[in-house]
Each structure stands twice: as C-alpha cells, then as structure tokens.
Structure 1
Amino acid sequence: MALRTDAPPAPGGPATRGCRPESARRRRRGYAAWGFALPFTVLFAVFMILPVGASLYMAFTDMRGADLRSPLAVNFIGLDNFVAAVTDPQFQQAAGNTVYFVGVAMPLTLGIALLLAALLNSGLTWFRSVFRVGFYAPVVTSIVAVAVVWRFLLQPDFGLINSALGLVGIDGPDWLTDPTWAMPSLIMLAVWRNVGFSMVILLAGLQGIPKDLYEAASLDGAGAVRTFRSVTVPLLRPTLLFCAVMTGIAYLQFFEEPFVMTQGGPLGATNSVAYEIYNQFGFGDYGLSAAMSYLLFVAIAILSFLQFRLLRPKN
C-alpha cells in the first residue's frame, strides 16, 4: 500500500511553525508604521480636523466672542448665517471684488508666465538660471517688504510709476486711494509677485516636451503658431492645469494685498471675501465668519472643478 505524500501538514508541523514568525514580523512592521505615523496623525487631528469640525459647528450656530467660555450652550440656527452672508451688501461687494480680482489677475499671471517660460525655453541658455531666480524672488519675498516697495512706486506725487507717466505727458492717478484704480493696483502687485511661481513650473513643463515633436512639426511645414497650438499646448495641459488650479485657489483667498496696502478701502473697493471673513471674526461674529469661509470653500471647489473640466488632458 503506497503512502500519500500530498497530505496537509499536521498542526504544529514545520510549515505551520514557519508561518508564525512571518505573521509576527508583519504585525511588528505594522506597529512600527503606526508608531511613525502617530505623531503626524495626532498633530493633523488637533490642528486640522478639530478646527475644521469646530468651524463647521460654528457656521450653524449664533456663536459670538462672548460664548467662548460655554461653546456648547449656543443656539443652533440652521442656515441663517449663510442667508445673512449672501444677503449682506458688504459681503456681496467683497464677493464681486474677489471675482474681479480673480478674473483679471489669473489670466494675466498665467499668460505672462507662459510667455516668459517660452522665451526662456527658446533661448538665453546661459542666463536661464539667473532669470529663474530673478522672477521667482518676489514669490518668497515678505509681503511687508513688497508693500513698502509698491507703496513707493504708487505714490501719486513722487512715485516712480507716476513720474514715468509724467515723462510722456500723462497725469497719473492716486493709485491706492482712488476707488477706480485701487483694485488694478493690487492686481499689478499680485501678478508681479506670483508670476514667477507659474513661470518656473511652466518652464519645467516645456523642457519636458520631446524635441523630436518640434522637428517633426517643422518638417510637416507647421509654423510657430501652429506648432504652439498643436504641439506645445496639448502636451502642456497637465502643467497648465496645475498652475491654473493653484493660482485660482490662491487668488480666491487673496488677503495679504488689501490687508497690507489698503485695509479694504477706499470705500470697500479692495475688500475681499477673505478680508471680510477676517473682519467678521475680529468683530466677534464667529458663526457668520465661519459661514462665509464655507461659502468661499464652495467657490474654490467650483472653480477648481471648472478648471479640471476645461484643462484636463484630452485622450
């Protein structure tokens, strides 16, 4: 009678005993991973999840500064804060200013950044690093230092901009105190300060496009405009999408420019949604400011969705 050699090993046999150390090693690796992740998880929960949850709670209550000692004793008022925000003329003006700022500053920033990136990619090989640093320097410069420089540039009497305009017979406006010119002044500042970030990203994207495609387009008789439209733009879509989303998110939250330069004036011409949220929080109306912040979040989500729909790579 032949003995079977394919029978399963008995419990406690060599194969079973060999699995136990492997299972223990996997558990130890899992514990070690959680140990490394625990500090970040705790910090993320304390400084991100809990504040977001608290702000969401405040958005549906009538919490004010006097309620901080008993935050759970406030009244739940539903959507009243959201209704009060969208019907507030001051918030409506701030929303209009924000739309104006984003609608003008974002295309200017991306257009100038793409133009500069294309110029640096086509030539100036020896000075490319110098130009990248020069254009990127305002991005990392303190807004206070930038504000001092731009206040001097925009002075109505002795500022460099009005002095240059005077040389050609143009009487420059009072940039920061005229409601007509205050927002364009902040747009110029924002574009100058942020164009370097998109330029560096777009330059990296341009350098990643294979040169063979440009040579093939040239052999097919395509001109510069056709090559840019048919080769550069389609391959640059992921990079353009990234720059557009990041710029749109930053510009919808623009706060530093009016805070440092104009304090939202003159006559509310430079008041933004983020600056209005800051003001309402400073006034102690925490519920209303939280509701405004979530309205801003919805606007950011809608703009990002539209950008993904328009600029996503085409298969």
Structure 2
Amino acid sequence: MRQRTQTAYGFLSPYLLIFAIFWLWPIIHSFYLSFLSTRRQPWSFNPGMTWGRLTQDPAFYNALWNTLKILAIQVPVMLTLATLLAVLLNSTLLRARGLIRFAFFAPVVIGEAAYAAVFRLMFNDEFGIVNKTLEGIGLDAVSWFSNPTAAMSLIIIAVTWRWVGYNAIIILSGLQSIPQDVYEAATLDRVSPHQQFLYITLPLLKPVIVFCLVLSVIGSMQLFAEPYLITNLGGPGGATETLGLYLYKQAFLNLNFGYASAIAYTIAALAVSISILNLWLGRERS
C-alpha cells in the first residue's frame, strides 16, 4: 500500500513541482513583498509604507468605492438578466436553441481589446452610434468619457454585456436539472406560470445563482480590462478606477511592488469575505 502511494505521488511530482514554482511561491513571495518598502534601493522592511499606507491613501479608497459601486449595481442587474435569459433559452418554443445560446455566450469568447475598441466607437461622444440614436429620438447626447457618472455607467454596461450570457448558460444548466414532474404537479394544482417561477423555479435555482454570485463578486473585485481599455486608465479623473487597475498602476507604472502586493492581498481578503457572506446568506435553512 505504501509503495502504491509513493508511485502515485511520483506521477504527481512534475505537476506539484510546477505548481510550487509558478503558483505557490509567487503567492508567498508577494506576501513577503507586502511588508517591504520598494520605492528605493535597497528594499527595506517597512510595513508602515505598505499596509499602513492603505489606511490613509485617498486614491485607494476611491478605487475601493468605485469597485464596490460596480459590485453593488452591476452584479444584481447582471444576475437578474441572466436568470430571465436562462428561462427564455430553456423555452421549448424557441427554435435553433443551440445557435441562440452560443450567440449569447459568444461575448466571453471575444478578446477584451476587440470588444473594448467596439464599445469606444459605439459610445464615442461625437460620432458614436449610441449618441446618434439618442439625438435621433430627441434626447441630448451623453459625454460618456468626460462625465464621471456616464463613464461609470459605460463600464457597468460593458461588463454586463460581456458576462450576462456566461451566467445565463450556468443558470440554464440548473434549470434543466429541475424535474418536470414538479411543474406538472403545479399545473394540475392550477398554479400560474408566474407563481411557478417565484415559488418553484427560483428556490430550486438558489444554489446555482449563489454560485454565479460568488464568481461575479470575485470577478468584480479583480476588474481591470474594462476601465483600462474603455475609459483610458480609469478616467475621467479616476472616476472609474478600480482596485485591480490601481494595483496595476502601483506595480507597473510606479514600480511600487510592496504597496501593490498589499493591495493585492486586500483585494483577495475582500473577495473572500464577501463571497463567504454570500454563501452564508444563501445557505439552506431548515
């Protein structure tokens, strides 16, 4: 038995070695860096310049507020749309369901740079199709890239567009696992489709929706590509700067790796805390 165990670990050893070098060691090393002042050579142990700075850095609090704002607005809207979309995609009246499902899932496959360029063109203040449409129906054009509220709305729209189909497919898999006998019995008891959705579908989908919620929370805490590519490094004036983008600026623009590591661990701690809270709120109660 012991020899078989050693043989199994022998086959696993190449993976474990790669795992330790490229995943485990960077995590440990970045935690060590979070206690170092890296602005000047030689680097020195100075937690006050990293962890201490977090408590009094207005730019960090601005990025944290923007991230939580996106999390509080975008994630509920996206999951609501994804749930409704999953119900529609599960309809037996829908033809070419496979093609339509792929069409809604396709935004995840598209490269971030490509879709960001399309959004910048669509929402361009001067010749974008969105402003042209607004003017065509008698509304004022919106300064999407110079107005802080409009820029934040643009980020929320872009992130929602990209991930709503992905979450809808996950929720759709949960829908298809619900036994049809439940709906047939409810129909015989003259329960309306609306009541079936509220009192049967949603409760049975709760574990899947909570799973999507946790994934969305983690993704929102790491949000980087959209504010970097669409609103040009979190503009205007840091109005769309997220924690992920602020970490990037500190690490690769300011070369302040110690402070960036402290921000990274703060992001991870916040994501884990919010996810655990969501799991606790979404747990099954007797």
Correspondence list, 1:12-31, <5 A: 26-31=1-6
Once the two structures are superposed, residues 161-216 of structure 1 have per-residue CA deviations (whole angstroms, 9 ceiling, x without a partner) of: 11111121011212122212101001100000111110100111101100110111
The separation in 1 between residues aligned to 2:27 and 2:262, in whole angstroms, is 12
CA radius of gyration, larger in? 1
One-letter code of the match for 1:61? Answer: L
The separation in 2 between residues aligned to 1:301 and 1:280, in whole angstroms, is 22
One-letter code of the match for 1:231? Answer: I
Correspondence list, 1:126-205, <5 A: 126-205=95-174
One-letter code of the match for 1:81? Answer: T
Residue 148 of structure 2 aligns to a residue in which SS? coil
Native 8 Å contact 1:65 1:286 kept in 2: no
Correspondence list, 1:85-164, <5 A: 85-164=54-133
The separation in 2 between residues aligned to 1:293 and 1:77, in whole angstroms, is 17
Native 8 Å contact 1:178 1:266 kept in 2: yes
Correspondence list, 1:195-274, <5 A: 195-262=164-231, 263-274=233-244
The separation in 2 between residues aligned to 1:231 and 1:136, in whole angstroms, is 26
Native 8 Å contact 1:105 1:191 kept in 2: yes
Change (3 A) 1:79 1:314: farther
CA RMSD between the two structures: 1.5
Q: What is the CA-CA distance between 1:285 and the residue it aligns to?
A: 1.3
Q: Which residue is equivalent to 1:275?
A: 245
Correspondence list, 1:76-87, <5 A: 76-78=45-47, 80-87=49-56
Aligned length: 284
Native 8 Å contact 1:97 1:272 kept in 2: yes
Once the two structures are superposed, residues 74-111 of structure 1 have per-residue CA deviations (whole angstroms, 9 ceiling, x without a partner) of: 43234552221131011111100001111111011101
Q: Which residue is equivalent to 2:23?
A: 48
Q: Which residue is equivalent to 1:298?
A: 269
Change (3 A) 1:54 1:65: farther
Q: Which residue is equivalent to 2:33?
A: 58
Native 8 Å contact 2:37 2:47 kept in 1: no
Q: Percent identity?
A: 36
The separation in 2 between residues aligned to 1:198 and 1:177, in whole angstroms, is 31
Tell me the TM-score normalized by structure 2: 0.94
* Segment drifting more, 245-254 vs 227-236: 227-236
The separation in 1 between residues aligned to 2:279 and 2:61, in whole angstroms, is 27
Native 8 Å contact 2:71 2:217 kept in 1: yes
Q: Which residue is equivalent to 2:7?
A: 32
Alignment partner of 1:310 out of 256, 269, 281: 281
* Segment drifting more, 178-187 vs 29-38: 29-38
One-letter code of the match for 2:228? Answer: F
Tell me the TM-score normalized by structure 1: 0.86
Q: What is the CA-CA distance between 1:28 and the residue it aligns to?
A: 4.0
* Segment drifting more, 121-130 vs 235-244: 121-130
One-letter code of the match for 2:277? Answer: L
One-letter code of the match for 2:27? Answer: V
The separation in 2 between residues aligned to 1:126 and 1:181, in whole angstroms, is 37
The separation in 1 between residues aligned to 2:93 and 2:212, in whole angstroms, is 23
The separation in 2 between residues aligned to 1:101 and 1:300, in whole angstroms, is 14
One-letter code of the match for 1:261? Answer: I
The separation in 2 between residues aligned to 1:256 and 1:248, in whole angstroms, is 16
* Segment drifting more, 108-117 vs 224-233: 224-233
Q: What is the CA-CA distance between 1:65 and the residue it aligns to?
A: 6.7
Q: What is the CA-CA distance between 1:232 and the residue it aligns to?
A: 0.8
Q: Which residue is equivalent to 1:287?
A: 258
Q: What is the CA-CA distance between 1:122 and the residue it aligns to?
A: 2.2
Once the two structures are superposed, residues 250-298 of structure 1 have per-residue CA deviations (whole angstroms, 9 ceiling, x without a partner) of: 0111000011112111010010111111111121211111111111111
Change (3 A) 1:65 1:188: farther
Residue 181 of structure 1 aligns to a residue in which SS? helix
